Amino acid sequence: MPASEFFGWQAYFDIYPFTQDREDARFAMLAAVIANVSGKTLRHSMREVDFLPDFLQERKQPIVIEKSLEQQHLEFVAFKEKLQAAQGKIQ
């Protein structure tokens, strides 16, 4: 490639940058279509934004707090006691 063509492409890129963002957007559109027609039952249809990378963590992520096994056991025991008390009132 001659230097003149290289500088021409460099000037073109300064005006119209062809970045990875455009390719990410195309892939997200394709992935959303494939996910929505895959035949699996989804809670909600997938959107393009669901497949776009979020490198800066700008989209809010759901906060998932896992309970310890002890906490889960205590909640289960409390539920079981409530259930037994309710069954005692019915009988």
Tell me the C-alpha distance between 28 and 67, whole Å. 34
Domain residues for the domain of 76 are 3-53+63-90
Whether 20 is in a domain gets the answer yes
Whether 58 is in a domain gets the answer no
Total domains in the chain come to 1
Segment 6-62, tens digit of pLDDT: 988 888 888 877 777 778 888 999 999 998 888 677 777 888 888 888 777 777 766
Whether 45 is in a domain gets the answer yes
User: Per-residue pLDDT averaged across 59-85, rounded?
Assistant: 81
Contact between residue 47 and residue 25 where contact means Cβ atoms under 8 Å apart = no
Whether 16 is in a domain gets the answer yes
Whether 84 is in a domain gets the answer yes
Closest CA to 28 of 56, 54, 43, 47: 47
